[in-house]
Copies of this chain bind each other. A is one copy, B any other.
Amino acid sequence: ISKSGNTYSNRGMSLEEDLNATNTYYLANNIANIHKKPTPVQIVKVDYPKRSAAVIREAYFKQASTTDYNGIYKGKYIDFEAKETNNKTSFPLQNFHLHQIQHMENVMIHGGISFVIIKFSLYNEIYFMKASDILTFWQRQQQGGRKSISIEECRQFGTLLKTSYPIIVPYLNCIDELY
């Protein structure tokens, strides 16, 4: 395993798996306590077989009302969304639901740290972008502007996260620097 550059993420893990491994490291080393929220599911039918575990036989995916991850770091409330795109030149804003944007804005209002981690899978480039910048791009779209964030804008307004080992996606470094 290489310690430099983006080599580590070339092993084909998803952004979510990489973030989960990062959070496990942060937790085990008393750096932060941040978790992925479970996928919300509407459960309709459950079987209770004798002498074995309950089996969900009918359920549906529900839209999440918040973001993917939250927790605590140095006494501060941390809240973020992680998104991957296969696009080459931009990150489409349709990847966000309106209520996710509203949630990010609301977290900022309450004094929390809110941001997005965007991965351009084709390049293995992962960017940290503050929610305030996401909101600016969202408003540009609302006013008839472009429906995406160009990769150049990600490079300019975001911070490239260099993947490494054992902290695969070291996003807390950005919090130390930016807040």
Interface residues in chain A, defined as those with a beta carbon under 8 Å from any beta carbon in chain B = 27, 30, 32-33, 35, 37-41, 43, 53-62, 64-66, 70-77, 79, 103, 106-107, 109-112
A33 contact set on B, CB distance < 8 A: 103, 106-107, 110, 112
User: Interface SS of chain A: helix, strand, loop or mixed?
Assistant: mixed
List, sorted by A's number, 13 A–B pairs whose CB atoms are closer than 8 Å. A30-B109, A33-B106, A33-B110, A38-B64, A39-B41, A41-B59, A56-B58, A57-B57, A57-B58, A70-B70, A72-B77, A72-B112, A76-B77
Given contact pairs A72-B107, A75-B110, a sample of 12 additional A-B residue pairs in the complex whose CB atoms are under 8 Å apart: A38-B40, A38-B62, A39-B43, A53-B60, A54-B60, A55-B59, A56-B58, A56-B60, A59-B59, A72-B79, A72-B111, A75-B111
Count identical subunits in the complex: 2
Q: A72-B107, A107-B72 are in contact. Are A53 and B61 (CB under 8 A)?
A: yes
Among candidates B43, B56, B74, B77, residue contacting A75 with C-beta atoms closer than 8 Å: B77
